[in-house]
């Protein structure tokens, strides 16, 4: 099983995705929740706040224990917070890189030292964007063959992403060109970059074996935009940046609509990939692995 924020090898991706989708489908079915747009907005708001887990794992945690305050691994609680797990505490499941699942615990199921302020405030974010941070993000995505250009256009145009093909060792590998309106303030430019990367990692531009983007049925244009706006909301909110995505999603929340056409697995997986591409991901800590040793909680790797 793989962490959705980390690309898998082409050989293992289909099997891992099938298992992950099955896990999410089972949890959603058993919870009997998250079918209305109101539920969807609440779910997005929670996933955007729990920044120490990849978006997909934050989704799994919210489904298992709605409204949990803060969660971490047993190792994380012990080494970073000097807290221990209470007897008979109920563990929660997340996916774990290179292994099936791992166990984490809600803060309510721990005891020990008082928590740091940024944890007691729940869902600490890093704050607004600045030019240096935006430049760092733009440089970070170059490793994915994504190249960002500033353009001088009117206020009503934010940006776009286009695909180009180039030959490398007799194989075609795509380049991606993102244009961003240079006249917008820095937070808006970052949101635009995230939105366009969302289209890429959601598969709206097609599959890309180099980036581990799988082929998927292309959604209708309005659903594509809703997916990209939802991803932008998640990634930016987790970074502490407000965006127009919030009002866009609020407009989507009509009493007579459902979210059956949305792919929550694909959305949260892609959000994790975008965070990794921008080098802004932050995750809970697990005990370092030793050769031939079992992962935490006795789970095989």
Q: Which residues contact 33 (CB under 8 A, 6 or more apart)?
A: 39, 63, 66
Same domain, 91 and 184: no
In a domain, 264, yes or no: yes
What's residue 255's pLDDT? 53
What's residue 119's pLDDT? 67
Q: Which residues pair with 224 in a beta bridge?
A: none
Same domain, 273 and 286: no
Same domain, 188 and 113: no
Same domain, 111 and 137: no
Same domain, 291 and 246: no
What's residue 295's pLDDT? 44
**Whole domain around residue 235: which residue ranges?**
131-278
In a domain, 182, yes or no: yes
In a domain, 5, yes or no: no
Give the side-chain half-sphere CA count within 13 A for 146. 26
- What phi, psi does 92 have (nearest 5°)? -115, 145
Q: How many domains does the chain have?
A: 2
Nearest CA to 236 out of 223, 248, 218 is that of 248
What's residue 167's pLDDT? 61
Paired sense of beta strands 99-106 and 110-112, if any: unpaired
Same domain, 158 and 271: yes
Same domain, 88 and 75: yes
In a domain, 262, yes or no: yes
Q: Which residues contact 238 (CB under 8 A, 6 or more apart)?
A: 48, 49, 51, 55, 125, 275
What's residue 27's pLDDT? 65
For residue 217, CA distances in Å to 36, 104, 224 come to 23, 34, 11
What's residue 221's pLDDT? 84
Number of C-beta neighbours around residue 104 at 10 A: 28
pTM for the model: 0.77
Judge contact between 82 and 41, C-beta under 8 A: no
In a domain, 273, yes or no: yes
Judge contact between 86 and 111, C-beta under 8 A: yes
What's residue 293's pLDDT? 47
Same domain, 51 and 109: yes
Same domain, 103 and 58: yes
Nearest CA to 120 out of 134, 103, 105, 108 is that of 108
Compute the distance between CA of residue 245 and CA of residue 261 in angstroms, rounded to an integer. Answer: 19
In a domain, 186, yes or no: yes
What's residue 241's pLDDT? 86
Same domain, 117 and 142: no
In a domain, 3, yes or no: no
Number of C-beta neighbours around residue 142 at 10 A: 11
Same domain, 137 and 274: yes
Judge contact between 35 and 260, C-beta under 8 A: yes
Paired sense of beta strands 92-96 and 99-106, if any: antiparallel
Same domain, 196 and 209: yes
Q: Which residues contact 34 (CB under 8 A, 6 or more apart)?
A: 28, 40, 43, 63, 259, 264
In a domain, 28, yes or no: yes
Report mean pLDDT in 10-residue bins for the chain, 301 residues. 43 61 66 66 82 87 84 92 94 79 91 80 60 95 95 88 75 88 91 95 93 88 87 88 75 60 84 92 72 42 27
């Amino acid at each position: 099983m793989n962490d959705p924020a980390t690309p898998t090898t082409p050989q293992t991706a289909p099997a891992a995705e099938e298992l992950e989708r099955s896990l999410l489908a089972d949890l959603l079915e058993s919870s009997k929740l998250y079918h209305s747009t109101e539920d969807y907005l609440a779910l997005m708001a929670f996933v955007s706040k729990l920044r120490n887990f990849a978006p997909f794992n934050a989704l799994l945690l919210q489904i298992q224990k709605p409204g949990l305050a803060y969660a971490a691994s047993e190792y994380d609680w012990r080494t970073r917070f000097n807290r221990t797990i209470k007897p008979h505490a109920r563990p929660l499941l997340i996916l774990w890189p290179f292994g099936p699942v791992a166990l984490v615990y809600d803060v309510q199921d721990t005891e020990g030292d008082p928590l740091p302020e940024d944890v007691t405030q729940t869902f600490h974010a890093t704050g607004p964007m600045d030019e240096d941070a935006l430049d760092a993000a733009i440089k970070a995505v170059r490793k994915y063959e994504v190249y960002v250009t500033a353009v001088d256009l009117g206020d009503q145009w934010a940006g776009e992403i286009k695909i180009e093909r180039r030959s490398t060792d007799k194989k075609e590998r795509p380049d991606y060109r993102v244009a961003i309106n240079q006249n917008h303030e820095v937070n808006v430019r970052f949101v635009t970059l995230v939105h366009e990367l969302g289209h890429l990692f959601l598969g709206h531009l097609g599959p890309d074996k180099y980036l581990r983007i799988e082929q998927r049925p292309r959604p209708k244009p309005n659903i594509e935009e809703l997916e990209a706006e939802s991803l932008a909301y998640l990634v930016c909110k987790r970074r502490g940046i407000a965006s127009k995505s919030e009002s866009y999603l609020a407009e989507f929340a009509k009493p007579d609509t459902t979210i059956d056409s949305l792919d929550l697995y694909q959305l949260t997986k892609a959000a994790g990939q975008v965070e990794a591409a921008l080098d802004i991901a932050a995750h809970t800590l697990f005990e370092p692995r030793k050769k031939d040793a079992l992962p935490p909680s006795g789970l095989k790797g």
